[in-house]
Chains A and B, each alone.
Chain A
Amino acid sequence: EAGVAQSPRYKIIEKRQSVAFWCNPISGHATLYWYQQILGQGPKLLIQFQNNGVVDDSQLPKDRFSAERLKGVDSTLKIQPAKLEDSAVYLCASSLVSAGVSNQPQHFGDGTRLSIL
């Protein structure tokens, strides 16, 4: 079974520029998550999708971050404009059904490491 695919693996931009990350979840997984992981910390949930719809985006800084999941499969996360504190690894995860339904574990991609200069 192919895992969660993310691209790019690394990205370096200057502050105030924009950046986008892409995620392709495991085939058949209805739920998709984006996490931010700052060095030395655990992942922090940014947004959770169930198929096309947003389940939780309470920790997404909506003035600069946006995410979409078209057709309930791939997803993109965008930052515009970027700030220095956005330097982190952005992880995408997917699960078969919503964790709220059946406590399904999440399967993670290897992330995109973002550096802001």
Chain B
Amino acid sequence: SYELTQPPSVSVSPGQTAIITCSGDALPKQYAYWYQQKPGQAPVLVIYKDSERPSGIPERFSGSTSGTTVTLTISGVQAEDEADYYCQSPDSSGTFWVFGGGTKLTV
């Protein structure tokens, strides 16, 4: 079955840049999406279609793609960015959706 692979954890100091990767074979053919989830809360969309930022999401959040890997970059990380981050994408047939295992960002 199709899988998306993320590092389990990333740790940065405030003001630094956090980089979270997500790898999957179908990513060259399908868009990727990123969600932020804080404890006890529902996920929030932070990046869609690889690199687009929804309204209300700070500019320090950005996304990029290269081959089978997509990347979420958080520049100038703030304490409030501490959360779990999930990448998500449809499989190549577009008939089921997959989430990565999640990356815990510690600030």
Q: Is the A/B pair a real complex?
A: no
User: What is A's interface to B at a CB cutoff of 8 Å?
Assistant: none
